[in-house]
Structure 1
Amino acid sequence: MSGGWLKLEGMRAVVTGGTKGAGAAVVRTLVDAGAKVVVASRRQPNEPVDGATYMQADLSDETGPTDFARRAEERLGGIDILANIVGGSSAPAGGFAVLGDDIWQQEIDLNLMSAVRLDRAVVPGMIRQGSGVIVHVTSIQSRMPLPESTTAYAAAKAALSTYSKALSKEVAPKGVRVVRVSPGWIETEASIALAERLAEKAGTDLEGGKQMIMDGLGGIPLGRPAKPQEVADLVAFLASPRAGAITGAEYVIDGGTVPVA
């Protein structure tokens, strides 16, 4: 996607979860479009994007988002775009019975409260300047939860989606847009590693492993997962002035996995 077409030159952007997968693709796309980008990361990435600034931050910690937002604003002189991509699940398999309070809290802190706390730190500055865009990455699991291991993750992402809608209604009159991107399976390094493990266990090849994942999701009509760059292109468009009339909406990018509108 053409950086000039997006009109992001000189925009000040913050990205969370931007060291790998779709997050890294978002960082690369925003930098290529001319934005000044600060990335929150627990550790320095193996392949940092030239032109992006990486700041150490633990966004699952209660004070981490506020501290990071302060440092990012000081570095950029303000924030025009906040792309909240951080998320994931480390819950064990076994269904609801193995999910103790500690696991529930970990999933909520990472997948919901990190965004809530960061918004609370960043949005007031956007309101003062009369403009800004928040992009929250949710998940189709908010509508199609996988109960074996991701019940808490799915519930946290569903809460993030509802919170995002409420926030959009509150801040849109003040010049701040809030939009959601809801991915299905994305072909990241981690998902390929999972497909390889499944393939090895089943005695098949990588494509067979991918098919097993798609079957587990109930099928993907497009026949493949989304590419990280495809997710990044959608995020960049929604964050850009080209999407200036879009707020409060959720955009699903899942190859048709969710069977209903």
Structure 2
Amino acid sequence: METTLKGQVALVTGGTKGIGKAIADKLSAKGAQVIVTARTAPESNTNGHHFIAADLTVPEHTEVITKEILEKYRRIDIIVNNAGANLSPGGGFNTLSDEDWYKDWELNFLSVVRINKALLPIMLEQKSGSIINISTGAAKQPIWEMTMSYSSAKAALNAYSKALASELGSKGIRVNVVSPGVVKTPLMMDFIENIATSSNITVDKAFQVVMDKVGVPLGRMAEPEEIANIVAFLVSSEAKYVTGTNYSVDGGASPTV
């Protein structure tokens, strides 16, 4: 397949570890100049990604990212809105405060809206671009005792992505969603360890609890690189007729096709 991204400029938010790092490394290997954001710099940057320190829950930091991209590259071809996390405590509706809801929606939804709004004028001027919003299988299959506020924010992200794809399709800009299932990342391992601690069970038992709740026919977590492979395809010219679509990468966990 002709999937080179040579000459293209890509932004990957939350791109210093886990799924984001795998995506950034994959796009770089395909030839793109990759910009990554995170609150703190990575311990190593062997692939030479351009790092911008930013907390996406702070609206002003979106302006910092946009200004630096414009000044240094004067274009943006790919946006991968990967930054996100399940920030709230488990236990169901009664354990969630207003602050818990705000935190999940600020990081998992509003930060994406702000990044896209800031950078889309550049894509519109270019008459080209590809946006990937990283969602989750839990947006369609929320686990009430684990992901209630997180799932609701990601479900909103799915609806927003479809609307944005419809608006921008005639302008040469494609918008797609990738929805991972259970992925072996530092955040996921922390999540499982927190379940183990709060439930007074072993980490292995907590892992099995999560897998049983989600139901994964392939019987394992995904590797971050397996998510990156789908993203690299979707932003390439091989997928130039694909927009407004949500790709599940969940080992078969989704009960419907």
Asked if Structure 1 and Structure 2 have the same fold, meaning a TM-score greater than 0.5 normalized by the shorter chain, the answer is yes
> Residue 23 and residue 173 in structure 1: after superposition, are their counterparts in 2 closer, same or farther (change >3 A)?
same
> Residue 101 and residue 209 in structure 1: after superposition, are their counterparts in 2 closer, same or farther (change >3 A)?
closer
Output the amino acid matched with 1:76: Y
The match for 1:239 is 235
Matches within 5 A, 1:1-261: 5-195=2-192, 202=201, 206=204, 209-217=206-214, 219-261=215-257
TM-score by length of 2: 0.93
CA distance in 2, matches of 1:202, 1:63: 42
CA distance in 1, matches of 2:192, 2:101: 26
CA distance in 2, matches of 1:221, 1:188: 20
Q: Is the 8 A contact 1:66 1:117 kept in 2?
A: no
Aligned pairs, how many? 255
Q: Quick one: percent identity of the two aligned structures?
A: 39
Write the deviation string for residues 79-135 of structure 1: whole angstroms up to 9, x where unpaired: 000000000022112211122222211111100011100000111110111100000
> Residue 97 and residue 194 in structure 1: after superposition, are their counterparts in 2 closer, same or farther (change >3 A)?
closer
CA distance in 1, matches of 2:31, 2:8: 7
CA distance in 2, matches of 1:260, 1:239: 25
What is the Cα deviation at residue 203 of structure 1?
5.1
CA distance in 2, matches of 1:196, 1:97: 22
What is the Cα deviation at residue 192 of structure 1?
3.6
> Residue 118 and residue 190 in structure 1: after superposition, are their counterparts in 2 closer, same or farther (change >3 A)?
closer
Write the deviation string for residues 152-197 of structure 1: whole angstroms up to 9, x where unpaired: 1100000000000000000110000000001110011333455567
Q: Is the 8 A contact 2:134 2:177 kept in 1?
A: yes
